[in-house]
C-alpha cells in the first residue's frame, strides 16, 4: 500500500513570488516618488545568529530595491545612545521601517527600545499601538511571522472560517498575534503552551495546528488529526552524534508527514515568509507615507 505524504506549504516559492511583485512595484514607483523604500535594521554586538539574520534581511532588501540603513553598534553601546539613534531614524524621511534585531545584550532594555520606534515605522509589528490595532481589527503593521503564516494559508486556499485552530506557544512575537489573526479569520482558536495539560489531546482536535515553541520534535504524528494542516514555526539547530548540525522544526517530520494533509518544511516554510512580510511591511509604510493606497501582494 502506498504511503500518503502531506503536500508542502512552500514558503520559499511564495516568498520569491512576493519579492518579484515588490521589485516590479518599487521600480514603477521610485521614479515618481524620488526615492526607494528604506529599512533600518539596528544590531548591537556580535551574536553570530543575529549577524546572519541581518545579512539575510539586507540581501532581501537589495533584491527588491529597498534601501538598507543598517546600523551595527558595539556590544557596550548604552541605552541612551540607541534611543537617540531610533529618534533620529523616526525623523528621517528616507526611512520607512525600523527594526531592532533581538536578542540584545543583557544591559539593554529591549522593550523600552521597541516603545521608542514610531508605530507607523514599526515593521516588526511589536509596538503596543500596533498590537492594539491588531486586537481591534484596525489597519496597522502586523507581526511578520504570523502574517507570513496567514499569507501562506491564503495562497494554498486553506479555508479558516469555523475550523478548529490550535496555536502551541504564546509569545508576543508569534503565539499571541497568531491567535488573534486566526480569530479575525473566523477560526475557533485554542492557545496551548508549556503549562497546558494533555497537549496531545488538544493538538488532536486541530484542523490547523501551528507550533511556535522552539522544542525540536515536540509535535509527533500521533498528536496530529488525520488530514490536518500543520504549520511549523520552530527553527532549532540540532547536532548529531558525528558533530554535524542541521535545522529542524518543532514538528517531527517523519511521523507527521504521513498523517497531515499539508505541512510546512523546515527550512523553507515559514522562515522565508517572515522576511517577505518584513519587506511588504516596509513597502506598505512607504506607500502610506506617500498617501498611496496599500497594495495586496
Q: Which residue has the cell 489531546?
A: 201
The reply to whether 171 sits in an annotated binding site is yes
Q: Which residue has the cell 515553541?
A: 213
- Sequence length of the chain is 297
Q: Which residue has the cell 515588490?
A: 22
Task: Give me 29's grid cell.
Answer: 514607483
Identify the helix (H) or strand (E) that includes residue 292. none
Q: Which residue has the cell 510546512?
A: 264
Mark whether 101 is an active-site residue: yes
Q: Are 40 and 89 in contact (CB under 8 A)?
A: yes
Among the options 101, 116, 121, 280, which is catalytic? 101
The reply to whether 214 sits in an annotated binding site is no
Strands 236-239 and 188-192: unpaired
The reply to whether 159 sits in an annotated binding site is no
The reply to whether 38 sits in an annotated binding site is no
State residue 100 phi and psi, 5-degree precision.
Answer: -100, 120
Cα separation of 151 and 156, whole Å? 9
Among the options 10, 96, 120, 124, which is catalytic? 124
Is residue 260 classed exposed, middle or buried when 0-12, 13-18 and 19+ CB atoms within 10 A define those classes? buried
Cα separation of 77 and 46, whole Å? 12
State residue 205 phi and psi, 5-degree precision.
Answer: -85, -10
Q: Which residues are known catalytic residues?
A: 57, 101, 124
List binding-site positions: 169-171, 235
List binding-site positions for NADP(+): 169-171, 235
Amino acid at each position: 500500500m502506498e504511503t500518503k505524504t502531506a503536500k508542502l506549504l512552500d514558503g520559499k516559492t511564495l516568498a520569491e513570488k512576493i519579492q518579484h511583485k515588490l521589485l516590479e512595484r518599487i521600480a514603477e514607483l521610485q521614479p515618481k516618488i524620488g526615492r526607494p523604500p528604506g529599512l533600518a535594521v539596528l544590531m548591537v554586538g556580535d551574536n553570530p545568529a543575529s549577524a546572519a539574520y541581518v545579512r539575510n534581511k539586507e540581501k532581501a532588501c537589495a533584491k527588491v530595491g529597498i534601501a538598507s540603513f543598517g546600523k551595527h553598534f558595539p556590544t557596550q553601546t548604552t541605552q541612551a545612545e540607541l534611543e537617540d539613534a531610533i529618534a533620529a531614524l523616526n525623523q528621517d524621511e528616507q526611512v520607512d521601517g525600523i527594526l531592532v534585531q533581538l536578542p540584545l545584550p543583557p544591559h539593554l532594555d529591549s522593550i523600552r527600545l521597541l516603545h521608542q520606534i514610531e508605530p507607523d515605522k514599526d515593521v516588526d509589528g511589536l509596538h503596543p499601538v500596533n498590537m492594539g490595532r491588531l486586537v481591534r481589527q484596525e489597519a496597522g503593521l502586523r507581526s511578520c511571522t504570523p502574517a507570513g503564516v496567514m499569507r501562506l494559508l491564503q495562497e494554498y486556499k486553506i479555508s479558516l472560517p469555523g475550523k478548529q485552530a490550535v496555536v502551541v506557544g504564546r509569545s508576543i512575537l508569534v503565539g499571541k498575534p497568531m491567535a488573534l489573526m486566526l480569530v479575525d479569520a473566523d477560526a475557533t482558536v485554542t492557545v496551548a503552551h508549556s503549562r497546558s495539560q494533555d497537549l496531545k489531546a488538544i493538538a488532536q482536535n486541530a484542523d490547523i495546528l501551528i507550533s511556535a515553541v522552539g522544542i525540536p520534535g515536540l509535535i509527533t504524528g500521533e498528536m496530529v488529526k488525520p488530514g490536518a494542516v500543520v504549520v511549523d514555526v520552530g527553527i532549532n539547530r540540532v547536532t548529531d552524534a558525528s558533530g554535524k548540525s542541521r535545522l529542524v522544526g518543532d514538528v517531527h517530520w517523519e511521523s507527521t508527514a504521513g498523517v497531515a494533509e499539508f505541512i510546512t518544511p523546515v527550512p523553507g516554510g515559514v522562515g522565508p515568509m517572515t522576511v517577505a512580510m518584513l519587506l511588504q511591511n516596509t513597502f506598505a509604510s512607504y506607500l502610506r507615507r506617500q498617501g498611496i493606497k496599500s497594495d495586496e501582494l
